[in-house]
Structure 1
Amino acid sequence: MTMWEMLAVFVAGVSAGTINTIVGSGTLITFPVLLATGLPPVTATVSNALGLIPGSISGAIGYRKELEGQRPRVLKLAVGALIGGLTGATLLLALPSTAFETIVPILVAMALVLVILQPRISKAVQRRREHTGVTARPDGGPLLFIGLMLASVYGGYFTAAQGIIYLSLMGMLLDDTMQRLNAVKNVLAAVVNSIAALFFLFVADFNWTAVVLIAIGSALGGQIGAKVGRRLSPAILRALIVTVGALAIVQLLLR
């Protein structure tokens, strides 16, 4: 890897750490850069997963204020994320590299629709709860657990736009602010990246130079993303999610 390539990977790591903390989809920045340096797709995916761990942890720490009072919810959902992440990492090595290329843009598109409609749907759900006298479950119930676990399978496989899928599911099934849900998203992403990376350490090839550069860059980006993201209003955050998600779909379709 040349000096210019190393610089490009580092900058991509900073950018990915920032965007992952605010929205998600940072892999759509780092993955093409790693491929451009000559790494094979699976090696690039594994190196990227390892490198993004510090960024995910950094982003979660940056959102620690928004995590207050959410410990039971986070612990329960993290179990599903762990199971899903390990399953996805296993599938990455077992399935052809093109296995998810068809379904991923569809998943992201569905998630964006949910993000756009979430305020209206949440109001409708709230009115129904008031009419029936049923209160919202603080952990989202079995539906959210299963949904996030399945999203984590995809996250362990590739990670691109997994944060958008997380936010869409939690926005539909949890009665909470976007910023607090974003904080939970960062923790779940850290869990998925970490369990997938631990699995890859023992069974897959990766590039240490790329891992270190992305790790340092994403850790820095995680702090930047936390400072910027927590200042965004729910409307702006939702608009940013939709914009990044739309760009993600375009890039995934053009790959």
Structure 2
Amino acid sequence: MDAIEALAIGGASIAAGGINAMVGSGTLITFPTLLAFGYPSVLANVSNNIGLVPGSLSAAYGYRRELKGQRRRVLLFGSGSLVGGIIGAVLLLQLPTSTFDAVVPVLILLACALVLLQPQLNKRLARRADQGGKDGGVPMWLGVCGAGVYGGYFGAAQGVLLMGLFGSFLKEDLQRLNAVKNVLASIVNGVAALVFVVVADVDWTVAGVIALGSTAGGLLGARVGRRLPPTVLRGIIVVVGVTASIVLLVR
């Protein structure tokens, strides 16, 4: 890895960590960056996942005040994220590389669509925030597990997907749910990373650069997430994601 590549990946990692804390979908910044430097898709996904784990943890730490009083919810949904993350990671390693290459452009476009839909999902959630309610029961747990499968296989926009589920099933303050989202993303990324470390090829230099950048970005994103409008960040994510999908489809 030369200096230019390290600077590019490091800068993308800082942006990804901040975006994951505030919006979700940071993978749509780092994953296309790795592809642009010629890394094979599965190696890029695995190394990117491992590198983003510290960023997810730092984002969760940054939202620690909003986690107060939500231990039961975190434990309940965390079990679904744990199961789903393991399944998704195993699928990534068991399915042929050609399957991943074929599916990834579709997943990126799906992630971009979720990013675009997030304002509507957030508005729906905000309208229900003052009504009180329970934790969605079995359907919500299954939805979180499904999001974990998606996140373990390819993590882009799993946070947006989780916030969409929260908006459909839960009645709670948006910032408190965003804090739970960060914890669940940490669980999915963490358990998938453990699987990858044991049985997959990892570019540890890439993972280390992403880890450093995403940790700083996660702390920064959590600090400003309550004040910075995500519109510009969302636009960047969509542009990068659509570009990456086109590149993958035509190469």
Instruction: Give the AA of the match of 2:40.
Output: P
Instruction: Give the AA of the match of 2:144.
Output: L
Instruction: Give the AA of the match of 2:91.
Output: L
- The question of 1:182 aligning with 2:187 is answered no
Partner in structure 2 of residue 136 of structure 1? 133
Instruction: Give the AA of the match of 2:23.
Output: V
Please identify, of 29-38 and 203-212, the stretch whose mean Cα deviation from structure 2 is larger: 29-38
- Residues 248 and 9 of structure 1: is their aligned pair in 2 closer, same or farther, counting only changes over 3 Å? closer
Note the 1:163-174 alignment, pairs <5 A: 163-174=159-170
Q: What are the Cα deviations for residues 92-113 of structure 1, in whole angstroms up to 9, with x where unaligned?
A: 1122213533652346536754
1:100 to 94, 98, 103: 103
Q: What are the Cα deviations for residues 144-201 of structure 1, in whole angstroms up to 9, with x where unaligned?
A: 1111111111100110111111111112211112111111111011001100000001
Partner in structure 2 of residue 160 of structure 1? 156
Q: What's the Cα RMSD here?
A: 2.5
Query: Is the CA contact (8 Å cut-off) linking 1:86 and 1:196 kept in structure 2?
Result: yes
- The question of 1:119 aligning with 2:123 is answered yes
Q: What are the Cα deviations for residues 208-242 of structure 1, in whole angstroms up to 9, with x where unaligned?
A: 1101111011100011000110235xxx45x5686
Q: State the SS of the aligned residue for 2:67.
A: coil
Please identify, of 67-76 and 106-115, the stretch whose mean Cα deviation from structure 2 is larger: 106-115
Partner in structure 2 of residue 85 of structure 1? 85
2:188 to 185, 192, 195: 192
Q: What are the Cα deviations for residues 125-154 of structure 1, in whole angstroms up to 9, with x where unaligned?
A: 799x8xxxxx721x2221111111111111
Partner in structure 1 of residue 47 of structure 2? 47
Structure 2: how far apart are the matches of 1:204 and 1:230? 37
- The gaps in structure 2 that reach 5 residues or longer are none
Structure 1 vs Structure 2: percent identity of aligned residues? 48
Query: Is the CA contact (8 Å cut-off) linking 2:118 and 2:164 kept in structure 1?
Result: yes
- Residues 43 and 107 of structure 1: is their aligned pair in 2 closer, same or farther, counting only changes over 3 Å? closer
Partner in structure 2 of residue 19 of structure 1? 19
Structure 1: how far apart are the matches of 2:2 and 2:24? 28
Partner in structure 2 of residue 56 of structure 1? 56
- The question of 1:66 aligning with 2:66 is answered yes
Instruction: Give the AA of the match of 2:242.
Output: V
Partner in structure 1 of residue 215 of structure 2? 219
- Residues 52 and 249 of structure 1: is their aligned pair in 2 closer, same or farther, counting only changes over 3 Å? closer
How many aligned positions are there?
Answer: 243
Please identify, of 30-39 and 70-79, the stretch whose mean Cα deviation from structure 2 is larger: 30-39
Partner in structure 2 of residue 132 of structure 1? none
Larger Rg: 1
Query: Is the CA contact (8 Å cut-off) linking 1:16 and 1:30 kept in structure 2?
Result: yes
- The gaps in structure 1 that reach 5 residues or longer are 130-134
- Residues 60 and 126 of structure 1: is their aligned pair in 2 closer, same or farther, counting only changes over 3 Å? closer
Note the 1:25-44 alignment, pairs <5 A: 25-44=25-44
Structure 1: how far apart are the matches of 2:144 and 2:233? 18
